[in-house]
């Protein structure tokens, strides 16, 4: 098949989402996670007995997922699970798909230092010693494993861009389709709790603490004191519109536009003036050919740290002007925790489902809004709302920033989302 090169004088053919896989602390598949998020259920629990930490640490409840073999990285298992769900949801017959036209973009991950230590001490089960060393240490293990499992021979991409990784993989996959390198792609990311990550965040004093772990994550609230770590994963099937239509695919939404941006300010600190974030949002909307008033919902980065929530609010207001007063904004980290590498993909999946069902999920624990976070952050209870466009924002350590604008597909309602099924 001859690659379809993009004519720079014409607007590229739309890229659409036809499959979603999702797992998090509140559910083990797409619809159960979405149902829990709609209802404002928290998956945050208390982790006790971790050496070097306070007597208890609030985290998003670990996702139970048995490994396929001793020593398998949990992040790899998570990616495989959601990739399988996304492919099934897209109703793809891989036998009928040209594998050289099917790309894969999955973000990098940490290795398993605990497994390495056990192996070094000869305490691991004999069969686990057969696990290749690269499985434990290469940050692209999940990407190569998923692509190999499903026989995907198109572009293979893997980025490590902290909390923006999930969105950047989706944008990179979309770019590969636009550039004519493939017709469809799997894109997403996963995160598994690791004590080394937790130790770093604890040293930075950004982890939240509360007597009730379910109330620890409080984005945009005056009483916020940090974020809660979490586990989970999300994966998308992205397709060129003509490819999706040719095979009669169901479509969730169009990736109307997206941008990546850098904040040349500090590794972990944010520019208080929010210049880069405002620029990112404005140019994402320009790429999507949208005006601020077109947006109905924003899934914010919303970590619950003192700095992020104020700076993000400021950036949204600077970019959208008066329209910001009429847009629903929420942080689902209040329920799931901060999934770091998987934050962007999991929250993008929730944003797509919010568009599908016309329902803006809540920011739980928002009982005393910070006056400096003066957006409509949907406190405590979600809201039915009419919306055709939504925006997902990710702001990461290292200055990485990304945003994706979504357009609800006109036929999405016919797919009988959660609200429609319940009413049927």
Q: Cβ contacts of residue 106 below 8 Å, gap of 6+?
A: 79, 140, 142, 143, 146, 157, 158, 169, 186, 187, 188, 189, 190, 235
Q: Which helix (H) or strand (E) holds 103?
A: strand 102-106
**Given the residues 104, 143, 163, 373, the one annotated as active site:** 163
What are residue 255's DSSP bridge partners?
406
E strands, 314-356, where? 328-330
Known catalytic membership, residue 143 = no
Rounded to an integer, what distance in angstroms lies between the CA atom of residue 408 and that of residue 323? 19
Known catalytic membership, residue 301 = yes
Rounded to an integer, what distance in angstroms lies between the CA atom of residue 40 and that of residue 334? 9
Cα 97 off chain centre by: 26
Instruction: Identify the CA nearest to 130 among candidates 119, 146, 141.
Output: 119
**Given the residues 109, 243, 338, 389, the one annotated as active site:** 338
Rounded to an integer, what distance in angstroms lies between the CA atom of residue 183 and that of residue 293? 32
Question: What are residue 257's phi and psi, to 5 degrees?
Answer: -175, 165
Sign of CA dihedral 412, 347, 159, 95: negative
Helix (H, G, I), strand (E, B) or coil at 43: coil
Buried/exposed code over 187-218 (b: 16+ C-beta within 10 A; e: otherwise): bbbbbbbbbeebeebbeeebbbebeebbbbbb
Rounded to an integer, what distance in angstroms lies between the CA atom of residue 183 and that of residue 1? 11
Burial of 94 (0-12, 13-18, 19+ CB in 10 A): exposed
Rounded to an integer, what distance in angstroms lies between the CA atom of residue 257 and that of residue 289? 8
Burial of 357 (0-12, 13-18, 19+ CB in 10 A): buried
Cα 131 off chain centre by: 29
Quote the tokens at residue 80: 């495989």
CB 124 within 8 A of CB 133: no
Quote the tokens at residue 390: 């939504």
Known catalytic membership, residue 338 = yes
**Given the residues 301, 377, 389, 400, the one annotated as active site:** 301
Active site residues: 163, 301, 338
């Amino acid at each position: 098949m001859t690659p379809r090169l993009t004519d720079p004088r014409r607007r590229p053919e739309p890229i659409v989402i036809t499959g979603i896989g999702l797992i998090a602390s509140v559910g083990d598949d797409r619809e159960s996670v979405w149902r829990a998020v709609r209802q404002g259920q928290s998956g945050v629990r208390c982790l006790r007995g971790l050496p070097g930490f306070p007597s208890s640490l609030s985290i998003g409840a670990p996702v139970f997922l048995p490994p396929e073999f001793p020593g398998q990285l949990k992040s790899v298992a998570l990616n495989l699970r959601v990739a399988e769900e996304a492919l099934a949801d897209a109703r793809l017959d891989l036998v009928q798909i040209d594998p050289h036209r099917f790309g894969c973009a999955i973000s990098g991950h940490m290795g398993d230092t605990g497994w390495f230590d056990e192996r070094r001490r000869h305490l691991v089960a004999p069969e686990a010693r057969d696990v290749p060393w690269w499985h434990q240490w290469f940050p692209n293990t999940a990407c190569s494993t998923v692509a190999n499992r499903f026989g995907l021979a198109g572009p293979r991409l893997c980025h490590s861009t902290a909390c923006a990784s999930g969105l950047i993989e989706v944008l990179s996959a979309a770019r590969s389709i636009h550039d004519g390198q493939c017709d469809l792609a799997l894109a997403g990311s996963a995160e598994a709790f690791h004590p080394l990550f937790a130790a770093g965040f604890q040293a930075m004093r950004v982890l939240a603490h509360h007597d009730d772990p379910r109330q620890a994550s409080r984005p945009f609230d005056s009483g916020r004191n940090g974020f809660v770590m979490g586990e989970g994963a999300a994966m998308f099937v992205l397709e060129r519109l003509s490819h999706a239509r040719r095979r009669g695919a169901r479509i969730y939404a169009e990736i109307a536009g997206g941008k990546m941006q850098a904040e040349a300010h500090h590794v972990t600190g944010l520019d208080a003036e929010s210049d880069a974030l405002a620029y990112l949002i404005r140019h994402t909307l320009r790429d999507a050919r949208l005006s601020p008033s077109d947006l109905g919902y924003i899934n914010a980065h919303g970590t619950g740290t003192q700095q992020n929530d104020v700076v993000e609010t400021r950036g949204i207001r600077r970019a959208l002007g008066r329209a910001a007063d009429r847009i629903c904004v929420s942080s689902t980290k209040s329920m799931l925790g901060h999934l770091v590498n998987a934050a962007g993909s999991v929250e993008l999946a929730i944003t797509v489902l919010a568009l599908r069902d016309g329902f803006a999920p809540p920011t739980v624990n928002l009982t005393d809004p910070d006056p400096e976070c003066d957006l409509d952050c949907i406190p405590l209870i979600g809201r039915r709302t009419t919306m055709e466009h939504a925006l997902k924002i990710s702001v990461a350590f290292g200055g990485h920033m990304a945003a994706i604008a979504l357009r609800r597909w006109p036929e999405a309602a016919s797919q009988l989302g959660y609200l429609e099924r319940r009413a049927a």
